[in-house]
Amino acid sequence: MGRPRGFDETEVVRAAATLFAHRAYDGVSIDDLVTHLGVHRNSLYKTFGSKRGLYMAALRWHVEHQVRPLIATIGEARDFAEAARRALAVHGDGAALDLLLMAAVELAPTDPEVAVEVTAALDALDEALAAGDTSAPGLAGALTSALLGLRLRARTTSSGAGPEQAGAALARRLSLHDSPQS
Amino acid sequence: MARVQVDGDALVVVIEGLDKLWALKSRLTIPLSNVRGVTHDPGMIREAKGIRSPGTHLPGVITAGSFHLDDEWVFWDVQNPAKAVVIELTDERYARLVVQVDDPRATVALIEGAIPRA
């Protein structure tokens, strides 16, 4: 819009994405944003219009810079075990799926614009997991759900077998019904 | 206290009760296409207000009227900061409105649902 900004907009959006991923939309106040992003309140309003405006920018940034690259590496995985390992371990704490997961739970059911972003990302994840295998049409969606569920579980507890083992077990079970070379 | 409603393609902010006197304004009508967003923001009250003209400012009691700061006009009508919403505008005399409403969550949902999306 051509008006001068006293801050790095991308950096602010990135920091906001992290904040929203950890505390959810409703759990982040404008006070929190002003404190954590180091941006003046009026600048925040002037640049993003509203808290929701900033959230949409953060969600789109997250999809483009965290989810899409993850989807690309998942697409290169040999099987679900590897895909799960990549999805949950590539970015250390697995944060590459977190804002998407939170958006799917919190805002997508009531906010159509959020729903569009979430659906597009999940569809792309489906496609990467299916990896051209059209023999079982519902399978990709089931694997995406399993992946999100594993991430949810990993966020909830650090105990137990761990997502990596769960992913491997699921892949083993799937391969029983698969072609012999897998 | 303000009553915020959507009337066709316009956002209408009606200043209620005695606030009309303090704010020296009873009604604002803004095309929805000039509304960028709305946020429930209880912390907004601690922001610098700037120079009031005209209006009323008794810190901690009432902030009402037109305030000028950093080349922007901001309209305030707030007594209870917990119920303040910030309505960001474009191409209007006011850069934003900070008004107290009965149900901030409902007001945010109403306006966000009515704003035309690009």
The tokens 């789109």 sit on which residue?
A60
Closest C-alpha among A46, A56, A51 to residue A31: A51
Let me know if residue A182 belongs to a domain: no
Per residue in B4-30, pLDDT tens? 999 999 999 999 887 777 777 789 999
Closest C-alpha among B10, B25, B8 to residue B87: B10
Let me know if residue A100 belongs to a domain: yes
Let me know if residue A129 belongs to a domain: yes
Residue A181 has a pLDDT of 46
Inter-chain residue contact A49 with B72, CB threshold 8 Å: no
Mean pLDDT per 10-residue interval, chain A, length 182 residues: 67 95 95 94 96 97 92 82 69 71 94 96 88 71 85 71 71 62 43
Which residue of chain B comes nearest to A50, CA vs CA? B37
Query: How distant is the Cα of B38 from the closest Cα of chain A, in angstroms?
Result: 5
Range of the domain at B103: 2-114
What's the structural domain count of chain B?
1
CATH of the domain at B94: 2.30.29
Let me know if residue A65 belongs to a domain: yes
Per residue in B49-75, pLDDT tens? 888 877 778 887 888 888 999 899 999
Residue B39 has a pLDDT of 98
Closest C-alpha among A49, A55, A69 to residue A121: A69
Residues from chain B that touch A53, judged by Cβ atoms under 8 A, are 36-37
Q: How many CB atoms lie within 10 A of CB A5?
A: 12
B92/B73 Cα distance (integer angstroms): 9
Q: What is the pTM of this model?
A: 0.88
Residue B77 has a pLDDT of 93
Range of the domain at A168: 59-176
Strands B72-78 and B96-100: parallel
Query: How distant is the Cα of B35 from the closest Cα of chain A, in angstroms?
Result: 8
What's the structural domain count of chain A?
1
